[in-house]
Structure 1
Amino acid sequence: MTYFLLPIRLSRLCRRNVLSIPFLLFFFIFQAFAQDDFKPKLGLIDRASLEMNAYPGDSTAEAVFLYDYGKVTFSYDNLRGLMMTTNIWVRVKILKESALERASVDIPYYMGSSYKDQEWVEDLKGYTYNLENNQIVRTELEKKAIRREKTSDTQTTVKFNLPNAKKGSIIEYSYSRVSPMSVRHEPEIWTFQGAVPRKWSEYNIIIPGFLDYKMTMGGYIPLDIHKQEPLNVSVGHSTYDGPGLSYRFVIKDVPAFVNEPFITTASDYVSKINFELASINVPGEMKKNFSQTWDNVERTLDEATWFGGELRKSGFLKDMRDEIAAKSTDPLERMNLAYRHIQERMKWDGYSGLFAAGGIKKAYDNRKGNACDINLMLTVLLRELDLECDPVLLSTRAHGYLHQEIPMLESFNYVIAHVKIGEKAYFLDASESFAKPGLLPERALNGVGRIIPKKGKGRFLEIIPADSQSKLEMITANIVPEDGTIKGSYSISYGGYEALDWRSKYGAEGDNVFHDDLKKAVPEWNIQKVAIQNKAEDFKGTVNVTCQFEMEDENASPAVFYFNPVLAGRWTKNPLKAKERIYPIDLGTGISASFIGNFTLPDGYALEEMPKAEIIVLPDKGGKFSYQVRQVGNVIQVNSTIIVSRTRFLSEEYADLKEFFERVVQKHAQPLVIKKKNI
């Protein structure tokens, strides 16, 4: 049994479940799971793959990667110094015409101003395979069909179309991209998973001992082969030659990544390997460190004119500070006044980022800026009012989950403010025109953020929304079976994120816009007297809508009347469709949806059968669904309450949550039967 030292620091980063091994002497025993190896030859294809009409692992797939291969090696060039070469080899079976676009390939590479700062692509080969007259016909990519186009000031792209590609073809290409380490000192992220299945995805890298990389592995599909072995690495220069390590990673039969409901962004879930250069330590030369600490990141921010420099600019806000200070000495009231002032004055331009590009004073004067502009000026104003307020950096849901173990400024793309008053803390984002203080937009609800205090060290804060998607709907109506009509009043109260969503859509519009949308949402209703209260007066309160309605069932008879009592807020489909799920569920916010119905029957009518009451509870207090129908006198009372208090569920809890939603849909679809009593 052989043990050897690992110069790469290895961590496995899965969504919410992170294992990190920093600065560790890590011993690893080669382990290859039960797995047949696969080493094809470029330019040769098997008949069975060509004859395949559908991929057995996914009959819906438009294409399948039969082979997806990458290899990274290092070398030394006398003119350019250290070089990194990335070899790519792709073999794809085209199963549907919709996948023919994969025969058009673009390979971008960097072109700097000096030849020492330029990448290049070499050894490009391509083939298309078809079955013609029961014979395998190979068509080779001609050199004259390869184009190079300058696609930006610093980027050139190699473009080509693989010839004779059609439904049923197999396309194949390989190339090498050579990169000076001055241009690209880290291998690109290797993803084992994509939009279509991959029968075999393999990544190899040979690392000289003087290069120290941190490697992170993300996703939810385990490796089938994970092999490493020591070897002598020759890069072409005696100073750099010496011991190193070779790695091989393989996943076979990789399913297509499905963008399922309730996720953040695909990059948080696909299986992948990422590298970060920690240091270069050449024998006899000074060691150069690249890896950052959180202290480095915070120092960079503090010294940056576009961040720390902006936090030290307050003169343009002194008049507003004095005006607010004269109105109140209460810290909470001061916070609310400052928040409302910035919120009403500023218009968000739709951009995130960490840069106050033109400066917060310019943004304030122009009454428009990005989220960083707006929330940095809010932070400055609150500090001027003697409140403990600091910026918080985070990664939005679309940007990806923030890994606390990897100190990188690039991990962040958004700024909010954090205020502490006594023992209570508030997260503020004044870029949302209709949000109450403490209600962050859903884009900012991504687990954690890092606070950058005015004094002392930064730290991570968990961001848990205090509000949910809250909605209460009520109907009070009379049922007239002889006419087949239901006539009465309807009201709905939007709270929390439901209120924010409603106000964001209708708050600046005329009431008629919502009236029209309401009528489209329930076309079977004849709606009259729509009234809206607290449209945008008090963001802390609910939006309340009332109306009168009438609906008619043309198939009803005086003797028997069928109707679904959940006339509003009915769940008609389960948002969770997949049979199984390997990814966790991230709802973003909790759910609170209630319906109360009171239906008055004329004398001589009653429910034929009383439905059974139902209560369903999710494990670990994750949620509760209750449904009850009863008759009191001549009034049918219906109560439905859906509460999901947790926002994140593990994949192991998927079946429970899916069943929970399914029971809601089933119960909401259950009709009631009203019959005329025999007197």
Structure 2
Amino acid sequence: MEELKMTTYAPDTAATAVVLYAKNNARYDLLNNDFRLVYTYEIKIKVLKSEGTSYADIIIPYYSKERAGGNMKENITQLDASAYNLEDGKIIRTKMKRDLVFEERLNKNYMQIKFSIPAVREGTVFEYKYQLNSDFYYSINHWEAQRSIPVIHTQYDITIPEYFLFNLDMRGSHSLNMKDQSESLSYTLHYQNGQVEQLLCSGRHLSFTGKQLPALRPDKYVWCADDYMSGVGFELRGINFPGSLYKSFTNTWETIDKMLLEDEDFGSLLKMRNPYRDEMAALALDKLTDRQDKIAAIYTFLKKKMSWNGQYRLYGSEVRKAIKNGTGNNADINFVLMSMLHDAQIPCYPAVMSRKTLGILPLSHPSIQKLNTFVVGIADTDSTFVFLDGSVTNGYINTLPPALMVDRARLLSKADGGNWIDLSQLGKNQIRSSIKAQIHPDGRITGTRQTGYTGQHAANFRRNYHTAKDSAEFITKLETEENIKVQTFSTTGVDAFSSIVKESLEFEKQANVNDNLIYINPMIFLHVSKCPFTQAERQLPLEMPYAEQIIQVTNLTIPEGYTVDELPAPLNAFTEDKQGFCRYLVHQNGNQLIITYSFSSNKLIYPISEYKLVKSFWELIAEKNNEILVLKKI
């Protein structure tokens, strides 16, 4: 009754729902004399706001191959769900009927069960439970204690027979209470002749409990919130059955390198024949002396043959179909790219990784399942590499989509094995602007801006330009964002596969005029209009997409008969570790104001403990960007 009367959750009044309890259990069972894992899940949720009703829409995936073959599978049983509402002081239970449960195929390896618990509205308490039976006894599902809504109480119990040895990976910033005890286990073996035998062994019982866990909501400036979610991971270290030799399952990254290089949908494709060998002759690569020019010519040709379908993959199981259709995932395009580079006598290797959006590689527990794509590392010199990927549409060499700019990837080659590389600081990402403008007595500001965009900023410019319906729409959006009127506009490099985009424009802007005073922001084009970090406190680290540099030099001509009332104070601000800085200076030379502005940010991850300092740094920058200068009529 108290749960139904509950209207808000005091520790988090913004919560749309709260987990009252979640109880999970995992145990080993015998079926046909083979071990299997049996998981039971039970969860109870209180809906606090109408938006919280979405948590009653449940999806449960499970392994089930589309084609018959192999005997490893999973299934779901004992599914039950109910909703409870308070009506006229009475508790009304609405039980979910079986016809509200739907099964559908998710992909060739997985099915999923979907259901929506009925009669769920603001104020409802609902619960559901089910059992998942899995033949994958050697792979224990990871347990996540936290969720995107607060959790009042959660518990996970698992009992593991002595034959299976697992490494535990406790993760997250919120501590979980753990108990580790031994207990006696008994299993019954049934033989074809009707005999029955008891199998007695010891077991390890692990119990994990979490209380009053805060919601872990997706946030800006974090790639994958799940990286920071409190929970427990399990990785099989070895199996030791009676009468058998101990078998180690502990992977190393070197063994994973070998597995990939021997896989027919990966390693074999590193030797595939270039499908465009004959057509490549027209590129006349032998006349190009710079290796990056050769790489650019090959990639430009390839993208005319194959377009990216928006998907990232690790394996190239359908690369030949992609070649035929002229479209494929990034892995398909990358395998073809490498075949073309090999023909051009340019050494190249795959650099496998986990995309930032799918989580950090668990370096202490090597796992091939955590790898989900790769980019191409291309030898630029005998000791340096540049990087490219089939998903690059607006970027360039060393200008990958930010989700691929990971700090750890495995560069694979059969000659040297694999080695760790850092792709997080690839290339130079810069905006450099030169502005010349005249202030008129009526407050009009007219002038020109010449801007060069490199790296990620060039890619962003191209993306925005090509997303617009036409150049007119792009200019209209620019006028709105910058509060200007564009008189003329031109670009170079916007359609090219190159490292830079150049933009040139003539503009007009209106300053505020009051009697004999003109109020003007000398930062005609703002870098930052307001601080991007608005939270007083932050639960997750700050993850910046890439390092960058902004440089802006403005020459402003003051109208005749006016004088500067007071020059803005200079700014020379640094982050605590000196990895970020902002400099701002307004200098007067006769009737000329010279404004120099430079900003640099090189650090990509700031821990929670540094959030307030970073926030203060950006607040200072935003304040200076919006500072007003006053011109007085003499």
TM-score normalised per structure 2:
0.89
Partner of 1:5: none
* Cα RMSD after superposing both structures: 3.0
Q: Give the secondary structure class of the aligned counterpart of 1:398.
A: helix
The question of whether the paired residues in 2 share the 8 Å contact of 1:439 and 1:465 is answered with no
The question of whether the paired residues in 1 share the 8 Å contact of 2:64 and 2:110 is answered with yes
Q: Give the secondary structure class of the aligned counterpart of 2:514.
A: coil
Whole-angstrom distance in 1 between the partners of 2:399 and 2:112 = 45
In 2 relative to 1, CA 451–545 (structure 1 residues): closer, same or farther, beyond 3 Å? same
Q: 1:548 is matched with which residue: 502, 506, 509?
A: 506
Amino acid at match of 1:206: T
The question of whether the paired residues in 2 share the 8 Å contact of 1:75 and 1:236 is answered with no
Partner of 1:456: 416
Amino acid at match of 1:514: F
Counterpart check, 1:98 vs 2:51: yes
The question of whether the paired residues in 2 share the 8 Å contact of 1:474 and 1:490 is answered with yes
The question of whether the paired residues in 2 share the 8 Å contact of 1:476 and 1:489 is answered with yes
Whole-angstrom distance in 2 between the partners of 1:118 and 1:368 = 33
The question of whether the paired residues in 2 share the 8 Å contact of 1:474 and 1:597 is answered with yes
Whole-angstrom distance in 2 between the partners of 1:154 and 1:466 = 36
Amino acid at match of 2:397: P
Amino acid at match of 2:563: A
In 2 relative to 1, CA 114–141 (structure 1 residues): closer, same or farther, beyond 3 Å? farther
Q: 2:172 is matched with which residue: 212, 219, 233?
A: 219
Deviations 1:293-317 (A, max 9, x none): 3343233322323222222223545
Whole-angstrom distance in 1 between the partners of 2:396 and 2:237 = 43
The question of whether the paired residues in 2 share the 8 Å contact of 1:80 and 1:116 is answered with no
The question of whether the paired residues in 2 share the 8 Å contact of 1:569 and 1:595 is answered with no
The question of whether the paired residues in 2 share the 8 Å contact of 1:344 and 1:433 is answered with no
Counterpart check, 1:151 vs 2:104: yes
Partner of 2:458: 499
Partner of 1:52: 6
Partner of 2:357: 398
Residue correspondence of structure 1 range 151-550 to structure 2 within 5 A: 151-152=104-105, 162=117, 164-179=119-134, 181=135, 183=136, 185-223=138-176, 225-237=177-189, 240-285=199-244, 287-314=246-273, 316=275, 318-319=277-278, 324=284, 326-328=286-288, 331=291, 334-359=294-319, 363-364=322-323, 367-420=326-379, 421-481=381-441, 483-506=442-465, 511-522=471-482, 524-537=483-496, 539-540=498-499, 542-550=500-508
Whole-angstrom distance in 1 between the partners of 2:294 and 2:503 = 31
Whole-angstrom distance in 2 between the partners of 1:367 and 1:164 = 49
Amino acid at match of 2:35: L
Whole-angstrom distance in 1 between the partners of 2:7 and 2:449 = 55
The question of whether the paired residues in 2 share the 8 Å contact of 1:62 and 1:98 is answered with yes
In 2 relative to 1, CA 330–663 (structure 1 residues): closer, same or farther, beyond 3 Å? closer
Whole-angstrom distance in 1 between the partners of 2:129 and 2:42 = 4
Partner of 1:65: 19
Alpha-carbon shift at residue 264 of structure 1 (Å)? 1.6
- In structure 1, list runs of 5 or more residues that go unmatched: 1-45
Whole-angstrom distance in 2 between the partners of 1:537 and 1:175 = 55
Alpha-carbon shift at residue 563 of structure 1 (Å)? 2.1
Whole-angstrom distance in 1 between the partners of 2:292 and 2:593 = 46
Alpha-carbon shift at residue 336 of structure 1 (Å)? 4.5
Whole-angstrom distance in 2 between the partners of 1:577 and 1:145 = 46
The question of whether the paired residues in 1 share the 8 Å contact of 2:550 and 2:598 is answered with yes
In 2 relative to 1, CA 194–389 (structure 1 residues): closer, same or farther, beyond 3 Å? same
Q: 1:81 is matched with which residue: 19, 28, 34?
A: 34
Identity of aligned residues (%): 25
The question of whether the paired residues in 1 share the 8 Å contact of 2:585 and 2:595 is answered with yes
Segment of structure 1 superposing worse, 152-161 or 239-248:
152-161
Alpha-carbon shift at residue 276 of structure 1 (Å)? 3.0
Amino acid at match of 2:128: Y
Q: Give the secondary structure class of the aligned counterpart of 2:122.
A: coil
In 2 relative to 1, CA 139–550 (structure 1 residues): closer, same or farther, beyond 3 Å? same
Whole-angstrom distance in 2 between the partners of 1:314 and 1:501 = 34
Alpha-carbon shift at residue 621 of structure 1 (Å)? 2.6
The question of whether the paired residues in 2 share the 8 Å contact of 1:262 and 1:585 is answered with yes
Whole-angstrom distance in 2 between the partners of 1:306 and 1:120 = 28
Alpha-carbon shift at residue 440 of structure 1 (Å)? 2.2
Deviations 1:53-103 (A, max 9, x none): 2111111111111111211111223x3632322121212111112222333
Residue correspondence of structure 1 range 629-644 to structure 2 within 5 A: 629-644=586-601
Counterpart check, 1:610 vs 2:564: no
The question of whether the paired residues in 1 share the 8 Å contact of 2:274 and 2:336 is answered with no
Segment of structure 1 superposing worse, 66-75 or 144-153:
144-153
Deviations 1:607-641 (A, max 9, x none): 22222111111133311011122322122222222
Q: Give the secondary structure class of the aligned counterpart of 2:614.
A: helix
Whole-angstrom distance in 1 between the partners of 2:109 and 2:349 = 38
Whole-angstrom distance in 1 between the partners of 2:236 and 2:431 = 49
Alpha-carbon shift at residue 590 of structure 1 (Å)? 0.8
Deviations 1:95-145 (A, max 9, x none): 112222333445455567699866554455544444445x46252626x45
In 2 relative to 1, CA 538–452 (structure 1 residues): closer, same or farther, beyond 3 Å? closer
Alpha-carbon shift at residue 204 of structure 1 (Å)? 1.4
Partner of 1:668: 625
In 2 relative to 1, CA 496–148 (structure 1 residues): closer, same or farther, beyond 3 Å? closer
- Report how many aligned residue pairs link the two structures: 620
Partner of 2:91: 137
Alpha-carbon shift at residue 589 of structure 1 (Å)? 0.8
Alpha-carbon shift at residue 648 of structure 1 (Å)? 2.2
Amino acid at match of 2:11: G
The question of whether the paired residues in 1 share the 8 Å contact of 2:100 and 2:116 is answered with no
Q: Give the secondary structure class of the aligned counterpart of 2:616.
A: helix
Alpha-carbon shift at residue 335 of structure 1 (Å)? 4.1
Deviations 1:325-352 (A, max 9, x none): 5324665554454444435543222221
The question of whether the paired residues in 2 share the 8 Å contact of 1:469 and 1:497 is answered with yes
In 2 relative to 1, CA 271–114 (structure 1 residues): closer, same or farther, beyond 3 Å? same
Whole-angstrom distance in 1 between the partners of 2:44 and 2:447 = 64
Alpha-carbon shift at residue 265 of structure 1 (Å)? 1.9
Segment of structure 1 superposing worse, 308-317 or 243-252:
308-317
In 2 relative to 1, CA 120–368 (structure 1 residues): closer, same or farther, beyond 3 Å? closer
In 2 relative to 1, CA 87–457 (structure 1 residues): closer, same or farther, beyond 3 Å? same
In 2 relative to 1, CA 320–560 (structure 1 residues): closer, same or farther, beyond 3 Å? same
Whole-angstrom distance in 1 between the partners of 2:567 and 2:17 = 53
Alpha-carbon shift at residue 233 of structure 1 (Å)? 2.2
Q: Give the secondary structure class of the aligned counterpart of 2:617.
A: helix
Alpha-carbon shift at residue 454 of structure 1 (Å)? 3.1
